[in-house]
Structure 1
Amino acid sequence: MAGVAIVTGGSRGIGRATAILLAERGYDLVVNYQANAQAAAETVAAVQGLGRQAVAVQGDVGSEADVAAIFAAADRLGRLTALVNNAGVIDAPERLDEMSLARLERMFRINLTGSFLCAREAVKRMSTRHGGSGGGIVNLSSAAAVLAGAGQYLDYAATKAGIDIFTLGLAREVAAEGIRVNAVRPGIIDTEIHASGGMPDRIAQLREQLPMKREGTAREVAQAIAWLLSDEASYTNGTVLNVTGGR
């Protein structure tokens, strides 16, 4: 089911890999980004190089107005059939008794509320209840949701555990309306998120502890996302798929 796909946080890492792979599979793309316009432009160029339409849209998924702009851009491209809720943030390692309210509010607003807002707009367009013709939503969870992030990323882990439950609940809510909702749960993946969380050497520190003795790639996560959106996963709904190398 090709058509138009929105990838939030689509300028780099897993988001960029997903946008490019979906373009390879026939989708036109809305590439949302928060701040790095150059990276978003590079993703758009890669998609266009594959012969698909693409547009970059700046926006904070935790802002209702910005989410409206992202989906308006998708409406101009054609029929929305896929949403990848990839945008998310992490912060420097801290214990709960060190965390500020500002940190917590930012973490939950972007990682959890943002996914709710984007999924809400997708349902309004995809659901047969609203005159749509179906589609797929894939949310980005994390291995932190089950590892819990104690002493480092407790708040991040809590938002991703929330994504797991959100995925299951929404999947059941819209299952009879032509929409499938699933999630992927990446483990240690070679992206810039570790540096943004203040631990640029985290992969090197953990590599030997991983069952496969290597980190995953953004492309490997993107392949799981693309499968969940494909007709090959037509009876897969409410599932959180581990992409953790067995961790």
Structure 2
Amino acid sequence: MTQPKIALVTGGASGIGAAAVRRLAAAGYRVAINYVGDDGPARALAGQIRDEGGECITLAGDVSDPAQVAALFDTTIAKFGRVDALVHSAGVDTAWPVPIAKIEDADVERIVRVNVLGTMWCCREAARRMGTSGDGAGGCIVLVSSMAATIGGRVGKTVYGASKGAVDGLAKGLARELAPEKIRINAVRPGATETPMLGAFAHDEVYARRIAGSIPMGRVAQPEEVAEAICWLASDAASFVSGALLDVSGGGFSIAS
């Protein structure tokens, strides 16, 4: 009998991460749901997964802290025996566009620590635990990047765009580095997606129309649409796919938006 695969999903309590948790659980994965802050959404999601017959755990942890990242992997392996897939969805941004001349030091540091360093820490620990030169049997990593990486982001979102450019670089470089370890790594690049991170979208109708109008398909994505791409990249159906940057963007977006 085939053993269920094990997935660790960072930022798994809301938005794209939560949609990925639900999709992976539906595909038969046992899932470790990482969250930071309030544990309510993670517990509610875990309850839903269990009610539907899935198996999961919830793990508090800040991905910008390398010690906490290591603990996420240690706890997942202690519970499930291994990690087959890392879906790294944790990420932050400012709620509203902020010109570079006005952005606060704390916001820049937070974006870089979570989006860039956090991605590096998570990839490092995945390589250590999954790599065949150690005790691992290989596996896959799916990073959640952004279409912002393609042109540096929308106006007022350039720090975020730069951070996601680093994520793309990691996916491309680590695909070569980790192939001998039997680890695949890819990134999905969502466009504007209806999640809490979109912030102002939910509170400003004019801004919402402008964002939707900048996308060729005329609307923002739903998290579940991005989760489908994530689940495919994590699956054996993508067994020869590594180093790919998969756009889930409705055709891209206008630089003028």
TM-score by structure 1 length? 0.94
Matches of 2:202 and 2:194, distance apart in 1:
15
Matches of 1:203 and 1:42, distance apart in 2:
28
2:195 is aligned, of 181, 191, 195, to: 191
> What value does the CA root-mean-square deviation take over the aligned residues?
1.7
By how many angstroms is 1:204 displaced?
2.9
Partner of 1:56: 58
Partner of 1:144: 148
By how many angstroms is 1:7 displaced?
0.5
Q: Matches of residues 37-116 of structure 1 in structure 2 within 5 Å? A: 37-76=39-78, 77-91=80-94, 92-116=96-120
Identity of aligned residues (%): 39
Matches of 1:196 and 1:226, distance apart in 2:
28
Worse overlay, 235-244 or 101-110:
101-110
State whether residues 192 and 198 of structure 2, in contact with CA within 8 Å, keep that contact through their aligned partners in structure 1. Answer: no
Partner of 2:240: 235
Partner of 1:171: 175
Seen in structure 2, the aligned counterparts of structure 1 residues 226 and 236 have a Cα distance that, compared at 3 Å, is same
**2:160 partner letter:** Y
By how many angstroms is 1:100 displaced?
2.4
State whether residues 202 and 208 of structure 2, in contact with CA within 8 Å, keep that contact through their aligned partners in structure 1. Answer: no
Worse overlay, 106-115 or 96-105:
96-105
State whether residues 30 and 73 of structure 1, in contact with CA within 8 Å, keep that contact through their aligned partners in structure 2. Answer: no
By how many angstroms is 1:246 displaced?
0.6
By how many angstroms is 1:175 displaced?
0.6
**DSSP 3-state at the match of 1:130:** coil
Matches of 1:88 and 1:235, distance apart in 2:
27
By how many angstroms is 1:52 displaced?
2.3
* TM-superposition CA deviations, 1:145-184 (whole Å, max 9, x none): 1131253111100000000001011111011211000000
* TM-superposition CA deviations, 1:114-139 (whole Å, max 9, x none): 01111111111111111211111000
By how many angstroms is 1:101 displaced?
2.2
Unaligned regions of 5+ residues in structure 2, if any?
Answer: 253-257
Matches of 1:131 and 1:10, distance apart in 2:
26
Matches of 1:137 and 1:49, distance apart in 2:
27
By how many angstroms is 1:234 displaced?
0.7
**DSSP 3-state at the match of 2:62:** coil
Matches of 1:185 and 1:199, distance apart in 2:
24
Partner of 1:245: 250
Q: Matches of residues 197-236 of structure 1 in structure 2 within 5 Å? A: 201=205, 202-236=207-241
2:132 is aligned, of 128, 133, 141, to: 128
1:15 is aligned, of 9, 14, 17, to: 17
**1:22 partner letter:** L
By how many angstroms is 1:198 displaced?
9.3
**1:99 partner letter:** I
Matches of 1:50 and 1:170, distance apart in 2:
35
By how many angstroms is 1:46 displaced?
2.0
Seen in structure 2, the aligned counterparts of structure 1 residues 150 and 193 have a Cα distance that, compared at 3 Å, is closer
TM-score by structure 2 length? 0.91
**2:100 partner letter:** L
Matches of 1:226 and 1:87, distance apart in 2:
16
Seen in structure 2, the aligned counterparts of structure 1 residues 205 and 28 have a Cα distance that, compared at 3 Å, is same
By how many angstroms is 1:188 displaced?
1.4
Worse overlay, 219-228 or 49-58:
49-58
Runs of 4+ residues over 6 Å off in structure 1? 196-199
Seen in structure 2, the aligned counterparts of structure 1 residues 69 and 214 have a Cα distance that, compared at 3 Å, is same
